[in-house]
Amino acid sequence: MATRSSASSDQQSFMADTQPHPPIDPTNFDLIVIGTGLPESIIAAAASTAGKSVLHLDPNSNYGSHYSSLTLNDLISFLNTQSPNPNLNINQQHLVTESSDNTIAIDLVTRGIYSGVEICCYDQSVEKESRKFSLDLAGPRVLFCADLCVEMLLKSSGNQYVEFKNVDASYVCDGNGELMNVPDSKSAVFKDKTLKYSEKNQLNSFFKLVQGHLEGVKSGASGGDDGKVISEEDLERPFGAFLEKMKLPPKIKSIILYAIAMVDYDQDAGETCKDVLKTRDGIDRLALYHSSVGRFPNALGALIYPIYGQGELPQAFCRRAAVKGCLYVLRMPVISVLLEKDSGNYKGVKLVSGQEITSNKLVMDPSFTITSSYSEALQDVSKVFNVGTVTGKLARGICITKSPLKPDTSSCLVIYPPRSLYPDQATSIRVLQLGSNLAVCPSGMFVFYISVLCDDAVEGKKSLHAAIDSLFSVGTSGTTDTSSSDQTTEVKPTLLWSALYIQDIIEGVMGPVVMTPTPDGNLNYNDLLHATSKLFRNMYPDDEFFPETSNTDTSDQLEDDSEAGIDS
Amino acid sequence: MTAWNYRKLAFHHNQSQPLPDSDHIKSIIDEELRVVESALRKNFKSYGAWHHRKWVISKGNASTERELKLLNLFQKQDTRNFHAWNYRRFIAGLKNISDEKELQFTTDMINDNFSNYSAWHNRSVLLSHLLEKKVEGYFPKELFLKEEYEFVRNAVFTDPDDQSGWFYHLWLLDQTVKVDMPNLVSSWPPHGSEITKTTFPVVIYFSEAVEGVNLHTVSVQVENDILQNIIWSPLSANKFECGQAWLTHLTVPFREMNSSKIFEVKISSGDSQGIKSLNGVPCSQHWSFAFRVSAFPDLQPQGQSLRRILMTDEHFSPTDINSNAMMSLSNLYDELAGDYEQPTSSKWKSEMIASEIDQYRELLSWAECKIGKLTLARLLMANNAMITDTPAAPNMTHMEEVLQLYSELMELDPAHYQYYKDEHSLVFLKQVTSSKESLMKYCWRYKETSLNITGDMCLRLSNLSLSRIGSFERLLWVQSLDLSHNQLHSIEGLEALQLLSCLNLSHNKLGSFMALDPLRFLKSLKVLNISYNEIGAHPVDTKRYLCSSPLSHTLDYDKKFEEVATGDGKMVDFWEAYSVFGGLDLMQLDIVGNAAVDEKFVLFLAKLLPGLKWLDGEELH
C-alpha cells in the first residue's frame, strides 16, 4: 500500500526561497519533467523504463500537480496560487537574462488554470478536520475496470502501489427529477425495480445487439454480412439517431447515452450540438462499460476508485519511475528555461537554487508558461514553446456533507443528463459521492465531486448550483436541519462546505518542449492517456511505451472483504 | 474413478489402525479433503472427485463450515456447476441449514446472473420442500407463487432467449394448475343415462392415473344391493395396476325375464381413501353417479350374414340434429358434463394465470420468441381449464389462439415439430369435444341402418392431420370411430373407449404392432382397418422394451400362439401381432399396405382370428 506523501505536508509554503535546495547531481539528463501530474508521471515512468535518464521536478511538496489529492486547506491554497495573478508579471524587465556562455534564460511564469474560485463554509468543524481530507483537484473521476488506466497500471506494474474499491451504485436523473438506478448490465436490468418489463426487454435486447456486433467484428464479419453486425452506414450515423432507429424509447435512450456511454453534450440538440457521438464510438463506450462489469471477481460494478484519492495514480507511476532510476526532487521550482543563443534550441533549465541542468528534452505541465510578450519579442522562443491554447472550460465543485444521498450507499455516481435539471442545461452534469471507506474524508462525512463542461464561468456555475440545489439542502445553522427531517420523504444531505471553481482545458502540445494536457471533463482517463502515449511516441519513436513485461499476475485484486481465503 | 476407490480402501485401512485417536482420524480426513480439493481445482466437473468428497465428509469429523466456504468459492468461479449445487444440497442437509437461507442463496446467485439452470432448479426444489413442510409464508402455495412469477418475469423479459427462466416458469405454472388430488372426471355409462343392454362395460375415468380401485374403494349398487363380485381392472397397457381409466363388466341380474323392469345402478366412491395418485395423494373427494338399465333381452343375436362395413364417405350422411341418435347424444353430453364434482378452482389461480397471460401477450407483441409462444399456449390452456365455472360449458375462448400458436411454432422451430404437432392435435380434439355442437360436425350417420355392430353413428375425425389423440373422457360413448388419413403414430389412451366396435386407422403413421397395443383392451372391437400404415417399416422399434415378450407370460392366451405360429421367419412380427389380436374377436380386418404384411402373415392372421369374415376386402370362408 502506498503511503501518502501529501498527508505529511501540511501548509507547505509554495514559495521556494524558504526551502533549502540541495544541489542535483548529475547535471545532465536525457529528459527533464516538470510537474508530477498523471501525464507527466506516466511519461517519466515510460521514459525511465525505456532506459532514459530522467529528472522529475515539482515546485510543490506533493505529487500530482493538477491531478493530486490534497488536504482541505492545501486544496484551497493550491486553487488560489494557481489562479491568474497579475502580480506575477511585475518584473518583466528581468525576463531575459543572457548568460555568458551563449545561452538565453527565459523565465517561467505560472499560468493560472483555475478561476472563479468560491469557497463556502457552513460548518467550521469541516475545516478543523482539514488534514483528514484527501480531495481530488480533478474530480469527479473514476476508473472503468477495463479502461486504459487500469491497463497501464497493470502493464507498468504500477498496480502494486494502489488499491481500489468499487463504486457501489450509479444513478441517473430521469425526466421527473427522480434518481433511478442505472441498469447497466444484464443482471442490473434483471434486478431493477423501476423499469417496466418492456423496458427491460428493450434495454437488454440492445445490449445483446451490441454484444453480437462486437463478437461479429471480432470474428471478422463486416457490416451487412449477416444480421449480427451493425452496418457501416449505421456506424457512421449519430448514436442518438441509431438508438431511435432501434425504437428505444426516450428514457432508455437517455440511460444509454448519458449514464453508460457518458456523453457530455445534448445529442438531441441537432445542429447546435457541439459534439455528436457517432454510433461507432458509442458502441465502443458501451463495450468499455460492459467489459468493465465483472472484469475483476471482487469488483461488482464497472467503476472503481483508488483508496486515498485519485492523487494515488500519478504517485504510483512516479514510484514506478523511481524504481527504474528516475530522480525525484520536489519543492524545486524551475525559474527559467535555457536556450542556446545562436540556434535558439532548448538546452536546459535553471532551478530556483540557481543550478543549471541540461537535458535533451523537456516536458512541462501546462500551468508553466512564458508571458505572451516573449513570443513577440523573440521569434526563436515560439519555435521552442508551442504554448497550448485553452480549448474549453470545466466547472468543478467539491461538496462535503454528513450524510449520503441514499442510505447504505457509501459511494455512487449520479448523472444529470442534459435538460434534466433545467431546460437549457446543455451538457451532462456528473456527480461522484465518496465515503470515508475510501479514506478520502473523516468517518461520518461524505465528499461529492461535481463537474460539467461549460462555455463560460456563468454557465458553469449555474449548472453546479442547479446540481447542488437538487442534491443538498444548504445548512444555515451549521447542523442538520431537524425541522425538515420528515420520515416520509428522503432527507437531502445538508451541505457543510463547498468549493466551486472553473478550470481551463488545455490540450497537450508537442514541440521541442512538450506540454502535457490539463485534466479533461471525462470520468475516466482514457482520452488523457491516449494523448499522453501519443506525446511519448512522438518524443521517443524508437522506444516502446511500457513494453509488455513478464508480469503475468494481472489479477488486480481490489481490497474487498467478500473473499474468504480458502488456501491453507 | 478407480483411483478414488483405491483411496477409499486405503482410507479405511488407515482408519482401522489399532487405537485410532481422533487427531489421527482427523488428519487422515483432512488429507483426503485436501487431495480432493486440489483435484477439484484442476477439474471441478469431475464426478469422481465430488463423489469422493461426499464420501469422506459423510464419515463425519470434518468441518462442514469449511465445505461451505469451498462451495462459495467454486460456485463463484462457475455459478452453474451442477456438481457444486448437488454438493451444496448435501452439505446444507448435513448442516441443517434452513431452506429459507438456501433460498436466499439462490436469489443472490440469480441476481448475479439469472442465466443459471442450476440455481433456478435448486430454487424449485427448496420451494417444494418449504411447501411440503408447510413452513409459514410458503403454505399454501399462493403465498409465494405470485412473487415467484414476478421474479422470473424479470428474467424472461430481460432476455427471452435465455431458457433457464422459462423452465422455472414452467415449474411455477405446473404448481399453479396442479390439482391437489385426483378426481373422477367422467364415466360410462354417464350419470342419468339409460342403458338397454343387460351386460355392459363400466368405465370410470380419473383426472390422472390412479391405483387402488377395487371392490372396497368403489361401491356398485343395483337397486338396494351392493354387489360383492365386482372386479375392477385398469385400462393401461404399460403401467402396472394403475391407470387413468378403470373397467368392470356388469351383468344386471334380472329375475323376471321379458319384463320391462328398470334397474337403478349407483356407483360411488367407497368410504376409504384407497384410491391414490401415483404420488400417493388420495382421491378424498366423494363422488357418485347413477344410471338406469332397462332389462330388455337382446333382440338380434349377432354375427349373422354380415356384410362388409365400409367407412367411406358414400356410406354416410350428415346427422340431423333432430334425429333420435343425435338427441340421445345431446342428452348424453349434457349429462356427461353435468354431474361430476369439479374441484373448484380457486380465484387466486385464475387471477394469477390471467395476469400471466396479459404479461406474455405483451412480451410476444414485441419479441418473436418460441418459448414465449409455447408458454402463452400453455397459459391459455391452463386458463381454459381454470375458468370452467360451469362444467357444462367449458370455456373454449382461447382455443383458436392456442391452435394458431402451435401452428406458428411448428414453422418457427422445426426441431420440435412433432411435439408441437402432438400438442396441436390434443388441443384440437379438446376443442372438438368441448360441446355437442362442435362435436356434431364430426358425427355422421350410417346410411345402412341395420348395422347393429357399428351403432347408428360414426365419429369421423379423418383428414385432420392429427398426430395424437386425446380427450378420451369425452368420447367414452363412441362405438364407431374413423381416424383415417391422419398422422397418428400412437393411439395411446384409446383403450378407454370400451364401446368401440368399429375403428378405422388406415393411412396413418403407426409404426409397429406394438403401437396398436391399446387395441388389446377393446374386446368389443369387430371391425378394424389398419391398412396403409408403417407397420414393419422401421426396423428398430425403440419402444420394444416396454412390451410383453414371449417369455413374460402376462397374456392369458399364450397357448394359442403355439398352435397358430408356424415357428419360422419373422417371429417378432408374428408375436407382436399375436399379442395385439390374439384376444380379439374381429370380424373384419384391413391390413394391406404395411411393410410387415406378406402372404405368410396373412395366413397366420386368418388362423389367429377364426371369426374373421373379411380380410383386406376378401370374404373368407
SS3 sequence of A393-460: EEEEEEEEECCCCCCCCCCEEEEECCCCCCCCCCECEEEEEEEHHHCCCCCCCEEEEEEEEECCHHHH
How far is it, in rounded angstroms, from Cα A157 to Cα A147? 15
B72 touches A: beta carbon within 8 Å = yes
Q: Residue B365: closest CA among chain A residues belongs to which residue? A: A198
* pLDDT beyond 60 at A560: no
Q: Which site among A194, A201, A209, A248 would you substitute to test the B interface, given the most B Cβ atoms closer than 10 Å to its Cβ? A: A201
Indicate yes or no: CB of A204 within 8 angstroms of CB of B69: no
Least confident of A48-62, A276-290, A316-330, B351-365: B351-365
CA distance B106 to chain A (A): 14
* pLDDT beyond 60 at B540: no
How far is it, in rounded angstroms, from Cα A562 to Cα B243? 55
B169 touches A: beta carbon within 8 Å = no
B69 touches A: beta carbon within 8 Å = yes
Per-residue pLDDT tens over the stretch B127-157: 888 877 777 777 677 778 888 888 998 888 8
Are residues B452 and B593 both part of a single domain?
yes
B362 neighbourhood in chain A, CB within 8 Å: 197-198
- Residue ending a domain, choose from B177, B200, B228: B177
Q: Which position has the grid cell 356398485?
A: B220
Binning pLDDT at 50, 70 and 90, where does residue B420 land? very high
* pLDDT beyond 80 at B165: yes
Q: Residue B108: closest CA among chain A residues belongs to which residue? A: A191
A186 neighbourhood in chain B, CB within 8 Å: 113-115, 158-159
How far is it, in rounded angstroms, from Cα A506 to Cα A514? 13
Per-residue model confidence (pLDDT) at position B328 = 63
CATH number of the structural domain spanning residue B580: 3.80.10.10
A202 neighbourhood in chain B, CB within 8 Å: 366
Binning pLDDT at 50, 70 and 90, where does residue B496 land? very high
Longest Cα–Cα distance of chain A, Å, equals 80
Are residues B107 and B207 both part of a single domain?
no
Per-residue model confidence (pLDDT) at position B260 = 61
DSSP state string for A80-117: HHTS--GGGGTTGGGSEEE-TTSEEEEE-EE---EEEE
Chain A to chain B Cβ contacts (< 8 Å): 52
Indicate yes or no: CB of A191 within 8 angstroms of CB of B159: no
Domain A7-111+308-389+507-546 class, CATH top level = alpha beta
Mean of pLDDT values over A470-493:
61
Per-residue pLDDT tens over the stretch B361-407: 888 887 778 888 898 998 888 887 765 544 444 556 788 889 999 99
User: pLDDT over 70 for what percent of chain B?
Assistant: 79
Per-residue pLDDT tens over the stretch B446-455: 777 555 666 6
Are residues B172 and B204 both part of a single domain?
no
Report yes or no on B339 lying in a domain: no
Q: Which helix (H) or strand (E) holds B462?
A: none
CATH number of the structural domain spanning residue B50: 1.25.40.120
What total of structural domains would you count in chain B?
4
* pLDDT beyond 60 at B476: yes
Q: Which helix (H) or strand (E) holds A361?
A: strand A356-364
Least confident of A225-239, B299-313, B526-540: B299-313
Chain A contacts to B (CB-CB under 8 A)? 186-187, 189-192, 197-198, 200-205, 208, 297, 564, 566, 568
How far is it, in rounded angstroms, from Cα B209 to Cα B182? 8
Are residues B157 and B195 both part of a single domain?
no
Domain that residue B585 falls in: 444-619
Of A198, A208, A297, the CB nearest to B366: A198
Contact A331, A337 (CB under 8 A): no
Binning pLDDT at 50, 70 and 90, where does residue B32 land? confident
Per-residue pLDDT tens over the stretch A183-217: 888 888 988 888 888 889 889 989 988 888 888 88
* pLDDT beyond 50 at A557: no
Residue A416: all three cell numbers together: 444529470
Per-residue pLDDT tens over the stretch A30-50: 999 999 999 999 999 999 999
Of B34, B112, B363, the CB nearest to A187: B112
B114 touches A: beta carbon within 8 Å = yes
B25 touches A: beta carbon within 8 Å = no
Q: What's the sign of the alpha-carbon dihedral B81, B83, B87, B92?
A: positive
Are residues B10 and B53 both part of a single domain?
yes
Indicate yes or no: CB of A198 within 8 angstroms of CB of B362: yes
Per-residue model confidence (pLDDT) at position A555 = 47
Closest CA to B567 of B512, B612, B604: B604
Residue B191: all three cell numbers together: 350419470
* pLDDT beyond 80 at A350: yes
B367 neighbourhood in chain A, CB within 8 Å: 201, 205
Of A187, A208, A566, the CB nearest to B111: A187
Per-residue model confidence (pLDDT) at position A177 = 80
Indicate yes or no: CB of B159 within 8 angstroms of CB of A186: yes
Q: Which helix (H) or strand (E) holds A506?
A: strand A494-506
Are residues B510 and B563 both part of a single domain?
yes
Are residues B152 and B232 both part of a single domain?
no
User: pLDDT over 70 for what percent of chain A?
Assistant: 82
Per-residue model confidence (pLDDT) at position B268 = 87
* pLDDT beyond 50 at A6: no
Least confident of A51-55, A242-246, A285-289, A297-301: A297-301
Binning pLDDT at 50, 70 and 90, where does residue A29 land? very high
Indicate yes or no: CB of B363 within 8 angstroms of CB of A297: no
- Residue ending a domain, choose from B177, B203, B225: B177
Q: Residue A205: closest CA among chain B residues belongs to which residue? A: B159
Mean of pLDDT values over A65-90:
79
Residue B97: all three cell numbers together: 441449514
Indicate yes or no: CB of A201 within 8 angstroms of CB of B160: yes
Q: What are the domain boundaries of chain A?
A: 7-111+308-389+507-546, 182-306
> Are β-strands B288-294 and B194-195 bridged in parallel, bridged antiparallel, or unpaired?
parallel
* pLDDT beyond 90 at B321: no
* pLDDT beyond 60 at A58: yes
* pLDDT beyond 50 at A397: yes
Are residues B24 and B157 both part of a single domain?
yes
How far is it, in rounded angstroms, from Cα B191 to Cα B391? 14
Answer yes or no: same fold for A7-111+308-389+507-546 and A182-306.
no
Least confident of A156-165, A363-372, A482-491: A482-491
Of A189, A566, A568, the CB nearest to B158: A189
How far is it, in rounded angstroms, from Cα A450 to Cα A431? 4
How far is it, in rounded angstroms, from Cα B618 to Cα B621? 10
Per-residue model confidence (pLDDT) at position B323 = 64
CA distance A550 to chain B (A): 24
CA distance A301 to chain B (A): 11
Are residues B87 and B232 both part of a single domain?
no
A204 neighbourhood in chain B, CB within 8 Å: 158-159
Per-residue pLDDT tens over the stretch B559-572: 566 656 555 545 66
How far is it, in rounded angstroms, from Cα A497 to Cα A122? 6
CA distance A296 to chain B (A): 12
Indicate yes or no: CB of A566 within 8 angstroms of CB of B73: yes
Q: Which site among B31, B74, B114, B158 would you substitute to test the A interface, given the most A Cβ atoms closer than 10 Å to its Cβ? A: B158
Mean of pLDDT values over B19-24:
64
* pLDDT beyond 90 at A502: yes
Are residues B97 and B194 both part of a single domain?
no
Per-residue model confidence (pLDDT) at position B255 = 56
Q: Which helix (H) or strand (E) holds B444?
A: strand B443-446
Of B72, B112, B153, the CB nearest to A197: B153
Per-residue pLDDT tens over the stretch A257-270: 999 999 999 888 77
A188 neighbourhood in chain B, CB within 8 Å: none
Q: Residue A201: closest CA among chain B residues belongs to which residue? A: B158
Per-residue pLDDT tens over the stretch B275-314: 888 878 888 778 888 888 876 655 555 544 567 777 777 7
Indicate yes or no: CB of B111 within 8 angstroms of CB of A190: yes
* pLDDT beyond 70 at B231: yes
Mean of pLDDT values over A467-483:
67
Binning pLDDT at 50, 70 and 90, where does residue A375 land? low
Which of the 8 DSSP states describes residue B190?
P
Report yes or no on B164 lying in a domain: yes
Least confident of A3-7, A107-111, B474-478: A3-7
DSSP state string for A522-559: SSSSHHHHHHHHHHHHHH-TTS-SSPPPS------PPP
Let me know if domain A182-306 sits in CATH 1.10.405.10.
yes
Per-residue model confidence (pLDDT) at position B227 = 83
Least confident of A2-6, A48-52, A124-128: A2-6
Q: Residue B158: closest CA among chain A residues belongs to which residue? A: A201
Indicate yes or no: CB of B154 within 8 angstroms of CB of A191: yes
Q: Cα–Cα–Cα angle for A56, A59, A60, nearest 5°?
A: 105
How far is it, in rounded angstroms, from Cα B10 to Cα B13? 5
Least confident of A293-297, A352-356, B485-489: A293-297
Are residues B77 and B112 both part of a single domain?
yes
Per-residue pLDDT tens over the stretch B573-607: 678 888 888 888 888 999 999 988 888 888 888 88
Per-residue model confidence (pLDDT) at position B185 = 83
Per-residue pLDDT tens over the stretch B244-261: 899 999 887 655 555 567
ipTM for the predicted complex: 0.72
Mean of pLDDT values over B93-112:
81
Per-residue model confidence (pLDDT) at position B330 = 64
Higher pLDDT: B10 or A557? It is B10
CA distance B592 to chain A (A): 51
* pLDDT beyond 80 at B23: no
Report yes or no on B519 lying in a domain: yes
Q: Cα–Cα–Cα angle for B27, B29, B31, nearest 5°?
A: 70
B84 neighbourhood in chain A, CB within 8 Å: none
Per-residue model confidence (pLDDT) at position B620 = 80
HSE toward the beta carbon, residue A346, CA cutoff 13 A: 23
Are residues B114 and B193 both part of a single domain?
no
How far is it, in rounded angstroms, from Cα A338 to Cα A190? 62
Per-residue pLDDT tens over the stretch A525-551: 999 999 999 999 999 999 988 887 644
Contact B316, B250 (CB under 8 A): no
Torsion of Cα atoms, A300 then A303 then A304 then A309, to 10°: -150
